[in-house]
Structure 1
Amino acid sequence: MENQEALKDLHQTGIFMKENDLVWGTAGNISVRTDDTHFYVSASGTYVGDMGIEDFTLCSFDGSVQGKKPSKEHIMHKGIYEERPDIGAILHASPFYSTMAACSNIELPSSYFVEAMYYLERIERLPYYHPGSKELAQAVKEKASAANVLLLENHGIIVYDTNLKEAKMALQTLEYAARMHITAISGNIPMKNLSAAQEESFLKESGYKPVRNWS
């Protein structure tokens, strides 16, 4: 990906996240891979929804940086990119309902609707580690191949996918499903889940999206 195109797409993604209540304040950081060994990540202390193209830092897998001081969680992004060569974009945020799920024992189902079956096919939960810590980065890296959605307990969520378009869809789907599920619990509304067989049939036979290869 060309650098200017990457910066423009990141800027637009920040606006999208703010406009859709998927990010607030400085509670989040986003990145996009530019080649096999580099990625842009939001700079430290920035408001994701209000960032300009100058508010992103180019990071290398060897640890060098160009530009402003990167988000303290850039090592977490680096670990995902190293572990998952297929990943092109990472969104880390604390949207209300998804973060509520991460701060509770609520398990989010993937069997409510089509987008959830695909984008929420694999969700993993990680115990609390301090934000920006090496321990968190290592835990995320170890789980990176098991899912494309991570719930960070008492912290927030991470979604990552092949590009920013898919990552945005995954983030929006996660928050929508979390809101639906928690609203149903609060209102004692019985939900009709699709069966495991129906989910498997959708993922393998519908032609909606290529089936993910999970290790």
Structure 2
Amino acid sequence: MDKARPLIEAGRYIVNNHLAWGTSGNISIRLDTENMLITASGTFMGDLSPEDFVESNIHSAKYRGSKKPSKETPMHSEIYKRRSDIGAILHSSPFYTTLIACSKETILSNLFIETMYYLENMAYVDYFHPGTSELAEAVSKQSSKSNIVIMRNHGVTVFDDTLNDALMRLETVEMACRMIITAKSAGVEFNKIPNHVVSSFLEESRYKPRKTINYLD
């Protein structure tokens, strides 16, 4: 299954770079307006094969294959239904991001170039049990105004036009969280980038064209 190859490589990459561990994550890509390809339930992210993916209908939840799709399929489906521009979704529990998600800390976006761009639109949702309609609804609602959703006491879900862009968002939020926690433990005070400079950076495309959010009510 050639269409699974990028997901297999992404799974290996995020595990090797400590952005996920074991079976604590799921990945999907949009195939068309009706269908997505998503990791099967209980799959090990670092050693995926074509048989570890399930083609699932975004609207009906019907799927093909002998394996069941990830328990977070409802969350992926709701994001794809709400965001017509999204082509890939990653959900995982990287160490530092999850540590922040289990605390009252706020993730800063005005630290360096990549955080200004990739962390511009972030949102938080309270804890809901994995795979529930409540979690899917909460994350989907926030996806109308964000590209990263921190799930309290759980982890993070990121989404973007392409799988590579989604990976970059995931890496950036984990880097920012690692910096925040390291700085606090070392007593380092951040020199934050002023808001007007952040606005100039984003509006004048000094990194790459600003990501727009296209969503359906």
Common fold: TM-score over 0.5 = yes
Match of 2:172 in 1: 173
- SS across alignment from 1:185: helix
1:26 offset after TM fit, Å?
0.9
| 1:59-70 correspondence to structure 2 within 5 Å | 59-61=56-58, 62-67=60-65, 68-70=67-69
1:49 offset after TM fit, Å?
1.3
Structure 1: tracts of 5 or more residues without a match: none
Match of 2:29 in 1: 32
**4+ residue segments displaced more than 6 Å:** none
Between stretches 43-52 and 86-95, larger displacement belongs to 43-52
Q: Percent identity at matched positions?
A: 44
Paired with 2:18 and 2:42, the residues of 1 have a C-alpha distance of: 19
Paired with 2:104 and 2:123, the residues of 1 have a C-alpha distance of: 13
What root-mean-square deviation, in Å, do the aligned CA atoms of Structure 1 and Structure 2 show? 1.1
TM-score, length-scaled by structure 2 = 0.95
1:118-168 deviation line (CA, Å, top 9, x unaligned): 100011010000000011011111111111111100111001000101001
Residues 6 and 32 of structure 1 are in contact (CA less than 8 Å); yes or no, is this contact kept in structure 2? no
1:103 offset after TM fit, Å?
0.7
Structure 2: tracts of 5 or more residues without a match: none
Paired with 1:84 and 1:47, the residues of 2 have a C-alpha distance of: 28
1:5 offset after TM fit, Å?
4.0
Match of 1:41 in 2: 38
| 1:20-169 correspondence to structure 2 within 5 Å | 20-61=17-58, 62-67=60-65, 68-169=67-168
Count, aligned residues: 212
1:207 offset after TM fit, Å?
3.8
- SS across alignment from 2:85: coil
